[in-house]
Amino acid sequence: MTLDDRILSDEGLAPRGEGRLRLIACGALAHEILALKRANGWDHLDLQCLPAKLHLRPEKIVEAVEAAVRAAGGAQVFVVYADCGTGGALQQKCKELGVEMVEGPHCYSFFEGNAAFAAHAEDEFTAFYLTDFLVRQFDAFVWRPMGLDRHPELRDMYFGHYTKLVYQAQTEDPALDAKAQDCAARLGLAYERRFTGYGDLTDALRTAAGS
């Protein structure tokens, strides 16, 4: 299946299949979830993605997830979001709804591994992180929403306190690596590539899949 990141950003992905477990996920994780499904033979998992652009308005994530869970009509559900800027509200809502979700403050943390990310968080508070999805969609999620396409002079105001861009690579892709380096250059930041693979997402889905 070939997924268009623009569609995942704006529209998400309707439920695919009739699996016994529905994954209600962020559109920014669709490629990774489908790769894990294929690699592990998790045919009983049914993927539904909400628009990735909800991350530009995190206060809307809880409402969107709740609506998707209720629309699942009693199907078993696992929520593939971390806290994602909801200040604990998403975890509380999932608890109220009786569904499980991925642990961690955000995808940067669970891709690297929550324990590893927490261990060096204090040493990297001046790091700006990108994942595979965000490298591909850098203009749509960073450059344009911050108005840098119209007012590049705002770059130092937004990013003056950052020192480096860390590309957390889920895959080995030289083209994405080159694009990530260009993102760092555009932001005026030092560049570091850190291969994470899928991190804790793998174990979270393995547990949800019951395998």
Per-residue pLDDT of 179-193, as tens digits, reads 999 999 999 999 999
Joined tokens for residue 127 = 């790091």
| Residue 2 pLDDT | 59
Q: What digits encode the pLDDT tens for the residues 141-158?
A: 999 999 999 999 999 999
Give the separation between CA 8 and CA 132, rounded to whole angstroms: 14
Which structure tokens are listed for 159? 């990013």
Distance from C-alpha of 210 to C-alpha of 140, rounded to nearest angstrom: 36
- Beta-carbon contacts of 93 under 8 Å, excluding residues fewer than 6 positions away, are 62, 65, 66
Residue-wise pLDDT tens digits, 99-149: 999 999 999 999 999 999 999 989 999 999 999 999 999 999 999 999 999
CATH no., domain 5-108+198-209? 3.40.50
- Residue intervals of the chain classified under CATH 3.40.50 are 5-108+198-209
| Cα torsion 73, 61, 5, 22: sign | negative
Q: How is residue 194 written in tokens? A: 């850190």
DSSP string, 43-70: TTEEEEEE-GGGGGSGGGHHHHHHHHHH
